[in-house]
Every structure is written in C-alpha cells, then in structure tokens.
Amino acid sequence: MTRYDLSTPAGRFKAGWDYVWKDHAFLRVGFMNAHWLGPDLVRTNQPSPRQLAYWKSQGVRTIINLRGSDRDEAWFALEKDACARLGLTLISAPLDSRDPPQKDRVHRARELFRTIAYPALIHCKSGADRAGMMAVFYRHFHLGEPMSEAIGQLSKKYLHHREGLTGVLDYTLETYLNDVEPTGVSFIDWVDSDAYDPKAIRAAFKAGWGGTLLTEKLLRRE
C-alpha cells in the first residue's frame, strides 16, 4: 500500500505537502540545476510535475530517475503520475552517491544510453552527485569523450563537492585515470576485470571532515 493515493484530493495534497517540505522541493522552485550535456541529454535536480511538463515542451521523451523506485515517497509518486499523464517514459536506474558504482550499474548506464529514446533527462535529488556520475558515463560511453574530460561532470559548477563522502565518485574515476588508463586498459574493461573492487576503493577513500560536514549536515545530500 502506498501512502500517496493521487486519485483523491486529500492524497494529492498530502503528496504535494510532503514533496515540498520533506523532500525540500521549496529549495528547487526556481532552480533546476539544469545543464545540457550534449545535443540529446540534460541533467537536473529532482523535477516537479510542472517542470516535467516544461521539459516535455522542450522535446524530452525519456526521464531517467537515479534515486530509485523502491521508496514509498512523495517525489516518486508525483513523478510517476506526471510522466504517465505527459506521455514521458520513466526509467528508474538508481546510483549510489557514497560508493563506487557496482559493475552491473555501469553496464546498465552504458546500455541505457545506447537504447533510450532521446532527448532524455537524468536527475537525482540535487543534480550534483549521482547525476554527475551518470553524466560522466553519458559523455564517455555515448559521446566517446575520454574519461579524463568526462570526469569534469563531477564539478562544483554542478554543485558537486568532492571533499565530503560524495568524493568517492571522483576517487573511483581518478583511480582509473592514474593507475589503469596509462596501461592501455579501457574504463569498461577495468570495470569488468577482477582489479575493479568497489569495496576496496571505498575503503581506501578518505573524506575530509570539513567536506563531510558540508555534504552530510549542512547540505544533507542524499
């Protein structure tokens, strides 16, 4: 049973209230953290139903939700309902912001960019960390950009802060660039090899206390 029955006025009001206050949507009313990454994909923070309608008017056909769909939360109920009404394809492809991506999630991202209907939109909550990692995959796998350039999608320009726990994403890619790419091994081949060990990478990463305070306590990143 879902907490949000959008077929009733009371249920839709509850979803809207929880979305605004519990998901901090009031901070995103006039700020979408939106950036086109190429001719056919845009990254944003969590879009509201009204913003989804805007993106539909801009030609977007596919929404890739990086937050997941197994959570009975207002933002997902509203997003699912809006996409259905607008005729947008909604795909849930969750990523982690505080762990290196698992092999299956890297392959899923690569396959999505090969098969989805474009133009498309990718989003997490803030549009900074998980959206940043997915943007790296898009530019590397779909546009063929070298990882040394694609890593720029993890940047303060997009509100990503590498100094906190979310810096493990940067650390993962830098491990490849520093230790593996010089040997001639491609990123996907490294991910597929036994040398790619997300648990070991996570254990080796050390976040700064100041950055952790920023991302975990002040910004409360998801």
For 61-91, write each residue's pLDDT tens digit.
999 999 987 768 999 999 999 999 999 999 9
**Taking phi first (over 0 means left), then psi (-120 to 50 degrees means alpha), and beta for anything else, what does residue 149 get?**
alpha
Distance of CA 134 to the CA centre of its chain: 6
Average pLDDT in the 202-216 region? 70
- H/E stretch holding 46 reads none
- What pTM does this model have? 0.92
Sign of CA dihedral 47, 17, 126, 197: negative
Query: CB under 8 Å to 18, separation ≥6 — which residues?
Result: 4, 73, 74
What is residue 107's predicted lDDT score, i.e. its pLDDT? 98
What is residue 110's predicted lDDT score, i.e. its pLDDT? 98
Name the pLDDT band for 145 (thresholds 50, 70, 90).
Answer: very high
Please state, in angstroms and rounded to a whole number, the distance separating the CA atoms of residues 95 and 101: 7
Count CB atoms within 10 A of the CB of residue 76.
23
DSSP per residue over 90-129, as a string?
EEE----SSSPPPHHHHHHHHHHHHHSPSSEEEE-SSSSS
